[in-house]
Amino acid sequence: MPTLEEARRIVLDDVAPLGVERVYLSRADGRVLAEPFVAPRDLPHWDNSAMDGYALRSEDCAAPPVTLPVRGYLPAGATGGPPVAPGTAVKIMTGAPVPEGCDAVVPFEETVEGEGVVTILHPVKSRAHIRFRGEDIAAGTEALAAGTVLRPPEIGLLAASGKVLVGVHRRPRVAILSTGDELVEPGDPLLPGTLVNSNSPALAAAVARAGGEPALLGIARDDRDELGRKIAEGMRADALVTTAGVSAGDRDFVRDVLERLGVALRFHRVGIKPGGPTVFGVKGGRPVFSLPGNPVSAMITFEMFVRPALRRMAGHADPVAPTVPAVLKEATRKKPGKVHFYRVRLERYTDGSLVATNAGDQNTGILATLVRADGIAILPAERTGFSAGERVEVHLLYP
């Protein structure tokens, strides 16, 4: 039975980034760049003014105050204008090309304007308030590396460089199947002995947050043939996630059906609580995750195993979310032998440190505790007791 870290390493060794698609910049937020972006031209494209003011020669202002005649006007969007002759100035707007002979711009608020003249009140440094060609990015340089997550700043850079479409890794399409004779869909009559299929919509939301595209397959009953048909359908997606039917009950058929369909199982239990009876396998390069049916266990095992896999498939270089240190507000105990996932609320003290407070009843059947939780404290397998004030590592939920 693998540990948490061993199981996650097995998962990540079996998945790889998906192929490349080209998308419009307006749809690229959060996507992962699949190829380096080499700047095709200088940014800025030409020397331009960083301020509304006056373009002039700094040497003319060595002994202020000095009054200079104004010999022209350059608005933003101008394609050319009069050069700055010695002893003169040109009125200029932000973004306008810097005229020939100019080596500085003085903002309006640092001048006194007169009729056809401007008085400069302070010494002027050469290169002041000018954005020089290529000072942001020079043509031919690698502006963005492959694997970069595209955020608004990166998208702005691509747009400024003239890009319309960008090559990114595909989002994984993830089929989601709930199993069990007792399940009904949300909105259906809740008869005695039935349970609402809450796992499918919750996991669909989790898939979308992880960068995937969820595809709901509904409910499969506890019948090998029906399970086989539904699972085979789901395995046409980039990844398949099922819930329930993986424990040791007499109607837990999912593992047998997966093997019958040719899925190579990498593990079928993990040394964790909750979520021990988690199954992972692969067929044709497609990962299959069979998670416990308990909603708390399903959501936690998704975070620990499925989310990192989907992020790697989407091209993320660091698919495992880093944990954050926090100190326990209360003491707690656990049995040895398994990593325990302890649902906590987080508060930040005035010194900047985080304190983790028990989010509620830690029974795996209590979904409200997970609703209240900001994170999951990862309690090591070999430990049994944890003191108040002790430091633990916390996996953040939905930051």
CA atoms of 388 and 27, how far apart (whole Å)? 46
Tens digits of per-residue pLDDT, 84-120? 999 999 999 999 999 999 999 999 999 999 999 999 9
* 8 A C-beta contact, residue 174 and residue 302: no
Residue % of the chain over a pLDDT of 90: 93
Answer whether residue 71 shows pLDDT above 80.
Answer: yes
> What value does the mean pLDDT of the chain take?
95
Homologous superfamily of the 4-16+171-313 domain (CATH):
MoaB/Mog-like domain (3.40.980.10)
Q: Report the pLDDT value the prediction gives residue 17, as an integer from 0 to 100.
A: 96
Q: Report the pLDDT value the prediction gives residue 121, as an integer from 0 to 100.
A: 95
Report which of residues 398 and 392 the model is more confident about. 392
Residue 206's pLDDT band, with cuts at 50, 70 and 90, is: very high
Answer whether residue 250 shows pLDDT above 80.
Answer: no
Residue intervals in the chain for CATH 2.170.190.11? 48-131
Residue 31 DSSP symbol: -
As a CATH number, domain 324-396 is: 2.40.340.10
Mean pLDDT of 49-55: 97
Which one is the CATH code of 48-131: 2.170.190.11, 2.40.50.220, 2.60.40.3080, 1.10.1060.10?
2.170.190.11
Give the count of alpha carbons within 13 A of 77, CB side only.
0
Q: Report the pLDDT value the prediction gives residue 251, as an integer from 0 to 100.
A: 67
| Omega of the bond leading into 380 within 30 degrees of 0 (cis) | no
Tens digits of per-residue pLDDT, 121-178? 999 999 999 999 999 999 999 999 999 999 999 999 999 999 999 999 999 999 999 9
pTM of the model: 0.88
CA atoms of 149 and 155, how far apart (whole Å)? 10
As a CATH number, domain 20-40+144-169 is: 3.90.105.10
Mean pLDDT of 198-225: 96
Give the count of alpha carbons within 13 A of 249, CB side only.
13
250's tokens: 């007499």
Residue type present at position 184: V
Tens digits of per-residue pLDDT, 306-356? 999 999 999 999 999 999 999 999 999 999 999 999 999 999 988 888 999
Strands 173-179 and 213-220: parallel
Residue 43's pLDDT band, with cuts at 50, 70 and 90, is: very high
Residue intervals in the chain for CATH 3.40.980.10? 4-16+171-313
Answer whether residue 249 shows pLDDT above 80.
Answer: no
Q: Report the pLDDT value the prediction gives residue 390, as an integer from 0 to 100.
A: 96
Strands 130-131 and 48-49: antiparallel
Mean pLDDT of 31-42: 96
Residue 247's pLDDT band, with cuts at 50, 70 and 90, is: confident
Mean pLDDT of 175-191: 94
Report H helices in the chain.
4-13, 152-160, 199-209, 224-234, 254-260, 295-301, 307-313, 367-372
Mean pLDDT of 28-57: 96
Q: Report the pLDDT value the prediction gives residue 80, as an integer from 0 to 100.
A: 76
Residue intervals in the chain for CATH 3.90.105.10? 20-40+144-169
Strand order through the sheet with 104-107: 104-107, 53-56, 89-92, 66-74, 117-120, 111-113
CA atoms of 271 and 103, how far apart (whole Å)? 68
Answer whether residue 53 shows pLDDT above 80.
Answer: yes
